[in-house]
Amino acid sequence: MEEKKLDINSIIGFLLIGAILLYMLWQNQPTPEQLAEQEKAKQEQLATEAANQAAAELTTNNTSSFNPQQTDSLALAGFKNQIGDFAYALTLPSATSSITSFENEVLALKIDNKGGFISEVKLKNFVNHDSVPVYLIKDGSSVFNLNFATTDNRTLNSTELYFEPTLSTSGENQVLSMRLKVSETQFLEYRYELKPNDYMLGFSVRSQGLSNVLNTSKDVQLDWKFKAHRQDQSISFENRYTRLTYQHEGDKINKLSQTGDDDDAEVDLAWVSFRQHFFSSILVPEIPFKTADLKSFNLVEDETVDTLFTKRYEISLPLNFSGGELAHNMNLYYGPTYADILSKYDRNLEASIPFGWGIFGWINKAVFSPLYAWLTKYLPYGIAIIVMTIMVKILLSFVQYKQFLSQAKMRILKPELDAIREKYKNNKMKAQQETMALQNKAGASPLSGCLPGMLQMPVFYALFMFFPIAFELRQKSFLWVDDLSSYDSILELPFNIPFYGDHVSLFPILASIAIFFYMKMTTGQQMATQPTQEGMPDMGKMMKYMIYFSPILMLVFFNNYASGLSLYYFISNLISIGIMIVIKNFIIDEEKVLAKIQVSKAKPKKQNRFQKKMAEIMAQAEAQKEAQQKRKK
Q: What is the DSSP string of 579-632?
A: HHHHIIIII--HHHHHHHHHHHHHS-----HHHHHHHHHHHHHHHHHHHHHHHH
Three-state DSSP class for residue 182? strand
User: Which of 32-46, 166-180, 256-270, 324-338 is the least confident region?
Assistant: 32-46
Give the pLDDT mean for 346-368: 90
pLDDT at 631: 65
Does one domain contain both 96 and 77? no
pLDDT at 307: 82
Domain membership flag for residue 618: no
Contact 471, 376 (CB under 8 A): no
Does one domain contain both 322 and 432? no
CA-nearest of 248, 287, 241 to 265 is: 248
Domain membership flag for residue 24: no
Indicate the burial class of 60 (C-beta count within 10 angstroms; 0-12, 13-18, 19 or more). exposed
Q: How far apart are CA 31 and CA 33, in angstroms?
A: 5
pLDDT at 58: 37
- Report which of residues 370 and 550 the model is more confident about: 370
Give the pLDDT mean for 404-412: 69
Domain membership flag for residue 351: no
Does one domain contain both 97 and 198? yes
Does one domain contain both 48 and 114? no
Q: How far apart are CA 493 and CA 490, in angstroms?
A: 10
Strands (E), 278-385: 279-285, 289-298, 309-319, 327-336
Domain membership flag for residue 360: no
pLDDT at 13: 46
Does one domain contain both 272 and 376? no
Q: Mean of the per-residue pLDDT values for the chain? A: 78
Contact 206, 191 (CB under 8 A): yes
Does one domain contain both 475 and 562? yes
Domain membership flag for residue 473: yes
Contact 219, 319 (CB under 8 A): yes
Does one domain contain both 373 and 303? no
- Amino acid (one-letter) located at 454: M
What residues contact 512, with CB distance under 8 A and at least 6 apart?
A: 551, 552, 554, 555
What residues contact 47, with CB distance under 8 A and at least 6 apart?
A: none
Domain boundary among 16, 49, 83: 83
- Report which of residues 339 and 423 the model is more confident about: 339
What residues contact 249, with CB distance under 8 A and at least 6 apart?
A: 266, 267, 268
Contact 180, 161 (CB under 8 A): yes
Question: Sorting pLDDT into bands at 50, 70 and 90, what band is 98?
Answer: confident
Domain boundary among 292, 311, 345: 345
pLDDT at 630: 64
Provide the b/e sequence for 544-566 (b: ≥16 CB within 10 Å). Answer: eeebeebbeebbbebbbbbbbbb
Domain membership flag for residue 33: no
Give the pLDDT mean for 336-345: 93
Give the pLDDT mean for 74-100: 54
Quick: pLDDT tens for 536-554. 445 556 666 777 788 888 8
Please determine, for residue 74, whether its predicted confidence score (pLDDT) is greater than 50.
no
Please determine, for residue 106, whether its predicted confidence score (pLDDT) is greater than 70.
yes
pLDDT at 64: 34
Please determine, for residue 255, whether its predicted confidence score (pLDDT) is greater than 90.
yes
Quick: pLDDT tens for 185-242. 889 999 999 999 999 999 999 999 888 888 888 899 999 999 999 998 888 888 889 9
- Identify the domain containing residue 328 by its residue range: 90-345
Give the pLDDT mean for 523-532: 54
Contact 174, 107 (CB under 8 A): no
pLDDT at 440: 67
- Report which of residues 411 and 146 the model is more confident about: 146
- Cα distances (Å, whole numbers) of residue 295 to 132, 223, 509: 29, 11, 39
Please determine, for residue 280, whether its predicted confidence score (pLDDT) is greater than 50.
yes
Domain membership flag for residue 376: yes
Does one domain contain both 315 and 398? no
Contact 206, 325 (CB under 8 A): yes
Does one domain contain both 63 and 100? no
- Report which of residues 295 and 615 the model is more confident about: 295
Q: How many CB atoms are located within 10 Å of the residue 108 CB?
A: 16
Please determine, for residue 51, whether its predicted confidence score (pLDDT) is greater than 50.
no
Does one domain contain both 103 and 48? no
Does one domain contain both 294 and 436? no
pLDDT at 611: 57
Give the pLDDT mean for 521-546: 58
Give the pLDDT mean for 401-422: 71
User: Which of 305-309, 421-425, 503-507 is the least confident region?
Assistant: 421-425
Domain membership flag for residue 434: yes
Please report, for the domain that includes residue 156, its CATH number: 2.70.98.90
- Amino acid (one-letter) located at 273: S
**Percent of the chain residues topping a pLDDT of 90:** 37
Quick: pLDDT tens for 564-609. 999 998 998 898 888 888 877 776 665 665 666 665 555 555 555 6
Q: How many domains does the chain have?
A: 3
Please determine, for residue 151, whether its predicted confidence score (pLDDT) is greater than 90.
no
Give the pLDDT mean for 39-51: 50
Q: How far apart are CA 443 and CA 279, in angstroms?
A: 54
Question: Sorting pLDDT into bands at 50, 70 and 90, what band is 557?
Answer: confident
pTM for the predicted model, two decimal places? 0.74
Does one domain contain both 49 and 106? no
pLDDT at 237: 85
**Percent of the chain residues topping a pLDDT of 70:** 67
pLDDT at 336: 96
Please determine, for residue 9, whether its predicted confidence score (pLDDT) is greater than 50.
no
